Amino acid sequence: DTEVTQTPKHLVMGMTNKKSLKCEQHMGHRAMYWYKQKAKKPPELMFVYSYEKLSINESVPSRFSPECPNSSLLNLHLHALQPEDSALYLCASSPDGKETQYFGPGTRLLVL
Amino acid sequence: AQSVTQLDSQVPVFEEAPVELRCNYSSSVSVYLFWYVQYPNQGLQLLLKYLSGSTLVKGINGFEAEFNKSQTSFHLRKPSVHISDTAEYFCAVTHGGGKLIFGQGTELSVKP
């Protein structure tokens, strides 16, 4: 089973709202990732958690705040977003953070 | 630094015809190579990967790819495409450090 789940599927929020995206995997993978994908573009890496510790932050604005409560769960807390933050947010996981990444279906975010 | 070039942004092809999607990479170290497919409004699905061993890799849905170290290429092929293969295809590379570098994507459009 190589399933990564993400909730919600769709999210509409105003610029003053606070919301969270959730990602879950039960494959025993030790690395988890957040990506942002704009239309017709490849995914852009935002954050990497390895063994529940933040290992890579690709200079993401502080209005995006990741959290890894345990090895199966990854959250992305959103606050004071801008309309240009509207995108598909993808979560991925990999067994050891070194090679194959498995992606979830994504959350499509619209910021009004 | 690593980079990935997908030589064709769009590939139109008729149903049951063969197709090749081209991918070239540059890296000063050994790499792992991947092809992902993204259907409209979905996440990325792993098609196939090259980690080591045989340079001809077979994946899901009848796709295969050949790793050519001397030409730094990892082209994706399918002998006979179906309408359902219409999607965006991403080539990606990593040296195992946790960051996956994507190409710009190739839009495969299969026409009846």
The string of pLDDT tens digits covering residues B15-65 is 999 999 999 999 888 889 999 999 998 999 999 999 988 999 999 999 999
Q: Residues in chain A with pLDDT < 50?
A: none
> What was the pLDDT predicted at B85?
97
Q: What is the CA radius of gyration of chain B?
A: 13
> What does the pLDDT read at residue B77?
98
What pLDDT, in 10s, does the model give residues A83-104? 999 999 999 999 987 779 999 9
Shortest Cα distance, chain B CAs vs residue A57, angstroms: 11
Contact B44 A43 (CB under 8 A): yes
Q: Which two tokens stand for residue B75?
A: 């082209």
Per-residue model confidence (pLDDT) at position B27: 86
Q: Which residues contact A37 (CB under 8 A, 6 or more apart)?
A: A43, A44, A87, A88, A89, A90, A106
Tell me if B103 sits within 8 A of B6, measured CB to CB: yes
A4 interaction partners in chain B (CB closer than 8 Å): 43
Which pLDDT does position A2 carry in this prediction?
A: 64
Residue A111 pLDDT: 96
pLDDT of residue B12: 97
Q: Helix, strand, coil % (nearest 5) of chain B?
A: 5, 55, 40
pLDDT of B95 over the 90 cut: no
Chain B hits for A95, CB-CB cut-off 8 Å, are: none
Comparing alpha-carbon positions, the chain B residue that sits nearest to A99 is B96
Residues of A with CB under 8 A from a CB of B: 2, 4, 6, 31, 40-43, 45, 48, 50, 55-56, 90, 92, 97-106, 108
For chain A, the straight-line distance linking the first and the last C-alpha, in angstroms and rounded, comes to 37
Is pLDDT at B91 greater than 90 in this prediction? yes
Question: What is the per-residue DSSP string for B76-102?
Answer: EEESS--GGG-EEEEEEEE-SSSPPEE
State the pLDDT at residue B2. 83
